[in-house]
Amino acid sequence: MTDEKKRTMYRYIPAVHPFQLLCTILLTFFLLVGVIALIVYLIYRPSKPHFAVVGATIFQLSNSSTQPNVLSTGMQFTLVSRNPNERSSILYDHLSAYVSYRNQPITPPASLPPLLQDRASSVAMSPVLGGDFVPVSGDVASGLLTDQAYGVVNLRVVLMGRLRYKSGPFRSGWYNFYVRCEMLVGIRKGVTGPVPLLGEPQCDVDS
| 197 and 174, same domain (yes or no) | yes
Task: Verify that 52 and 34 share a domain, yes or no.
Answer: no
Q: What is the pTM of this model?
A: 0.79
The CATH number assigned to the domain holding 143 equals 2.60.40
Over 70: is that where the pLDDT of 20 sits? yes
Q: Is 21 helix (H, G, I), strand (E, B) or coil?
A: helix
Q: Are residues 18 and 80 in the same domain?
A: no
Cβ atoms of 158 and 87 closer than 8 Å:
no
Q: Indicate whether 143 pLDDT > 90.
A: yes
| In a shared domain, residues 84 and 128 | yes
The set of residues, in sequence order, having a beta carbon less than 8 Å from that of 19 and lying 6+ positions away, is none
pLDDT (average), residues 55-73: 89
If you write DSSP's letter for every residue of 140-170 in order, what string do you get? Answer: HHHHHHHHHHHTEEEEEEEEEEEEEEEETTE
CB atoms within 10 A of CB 177: 19
86 with 119, same domain: the answer is yes
Looking at the fold, whether 61 and 151 belong to one and the same domain comes out as yes
Same domain for 35 and 65, yes or no, is no
The string of pLDDT tens digits covering residues 146-158 is 999 999 999 999 9
Do 51 and 34 lie in one domain? The reply is: no
Confidence of residue 9 (pLDDT cuts 50, 70, 90): low
Residue 5 pLDDT exceeds 60: no
DSSP-derived secondary structure letter, 102: T
Q: Are residues 63 and 8 in the same domain?
A: no
Instruction: Find all residues with CB under 8 Å of 46, minimum gap 6, and list them.
Output: 85, 88, 90, 165, 167, 172
The count of structural domains within the chain is: 2
Q: Are residues 35 and 100 in the same domain?
A: no
- Cβ within 8 Å of residue 156, ≥6 positions away: 99, 100, 101, 103, 180, 181, 182, 183
Has residue 135 got a pLDDT over 60? Answer: yes
* 35: pLDDT strictly greater than 90: no
| Residues 84, 30 share a domain | no
- Pick the closest to residue 187 from 140, 130, 146 (CA basis): 146
Q: Is the pLDDT of residue 189 over 90?
A: no
Q: Which 8-state DSSP code applies to residue 16? A: P
The single-letter code of the amino acid at 51 is F
Helix (H, G, I), strand (E, B) or coil at 106: coil
Q: Do 59 and 142 lie in a common domain?
A: yes
Average pLDDT over residues 64-83: 91
> Which domain, by its residues, includes 10?
3-43
